[in-house]
Amino acid sequence: MNVISILDVGQDFFSLIERTRKLKEEARKGVFKNVLRNKSLAMIFEKPSTRTRVSFEVAMTQLGGHAVYLDRESMQLGRGETIKDTARTLSRYVDGIMVRAKSHENVLELGEYATVPVINGLTELEHPCQVLADLFTIKEKKGDFKEVKLAFIGDGNNVCHSLLLGSAFVGMNMSVATPRGYEPNKEILEKAERLSNKSGCEILVTNDPMRAAEGADIIYTDVWVSMGQEAEREKRLRDFRDYQVNTRLVKIAGSPLIMHCLPAKRGLEITDEVLESRNSIVFDQAENRLHLQKALLCHLLASQG
């Protein structure tokens, strides 16, 4: 089983959330079980990382396994070896592959040829591990997904895509506000709308941040300029200037929880005052990456080999 899209988890989502809860509870008590003893995870990074690298590496250590860090420049991938050859070779050495890639298509190809589970640690299209942890965090804080409204303010990017799919799957209402031209991927949105029809939630995509924030239980934002978009920086800063999560926007919602996947550009997409407010659960999100990914690794690797 691969987890390249958040939807790949399917009905295992609910058992994954429960396992995350138990693992977090055990970690609080200093209890760590070697369920992945003698298991190894290859971690391929084509983009820089703090949370993804550290959380996966620590997760494998706490589960009794081992993580191998690989960047493109130190691999034969950087010298022209094909993805399919890399996938088949690594599959002979390790029990799973986590990849943070520049191209979603490359991760799909890796998943096609690998004979061990492949985990998407981030592509330009989706960020499933982040959003699985986010959904766990929301359930932890709200108790359920029904009757909850999540407002995403900013770029219709990979995090937004996985949030749309994840929210629609669990039946959580979601609104998205982006500037014109930065709306979510059409195919992702159509898929989310089909799922929402089944789960009974509502999805709204608008260019009006105030409309999106109205009545929101949670406001979520992300950086305006992602890795690889540096050449667009000045244009993006102009286009997104009315999409800042600040006290004025927060008041439209009432007293919402505040989420951000980090790293944050304080003073741009979110003000320091909001990020540091009592309603901010940003660092709970960050911590929960570790616990969710431990649960995911147990699910994918514990029965392998």
Catalytic residue status for 222: yes
Cβ burial, residue 190 (10 Å; 0-12/13-18/19+): exposed
Catalytic residue status for 248: no
Closest CA to 218 of 245, 199, 237: 245
The DSSP H or E segment spanning 136 is helix 128-142
For residue 242, the 8-state DSSP code is G
Catalytic site residue from 19, 51, 100, 161: 100
Backbone angles phi, psi at 87, to 5 degrees: -60, -45
Catalytic residue status for 304: no
How many CA within 13 A on the CB side of residue 218?
A: 25
Indicate the pairing of strand 149-153 with strand 257-260. Answer: unpaired
Measured torsion, CA atoms of residues 288, 224, 196, 22, in degrees rounded to the nearest 10: 0
Catalytic site residue from 160, 201, 261, 298: 261
Where b means 16+ CB within 10 Å and e means fewer, 177-186 reads bbbeebbbbe
Catalytic residue status for 293: no
Catalytic residue status for 100: yes
Catalytic site residue from 51, 127, 236, 260: 127
Report the C-alpha gap between 285 and 277 in whole angstroms. Answer: 15
For residue 278, the 8-state DSSP code is T
Cβ burial, residue 279 (10 Å; 0-12/13-18/19+): middle
Catalytic site residue from 217, 289, 291, 293: 289
Query: Residue 206's beta-bridge partner residues?
Result: 177
Closest CA to 287 of 102, 124, 93, 141: 141
Catalytic residue status for 130: yes
For residue 238, the 8-state DSSP code is H
Catalytic site residue from 19, 161, 222, 285: 222
Active site residues: 100, 127, 130, 222, 261, 289
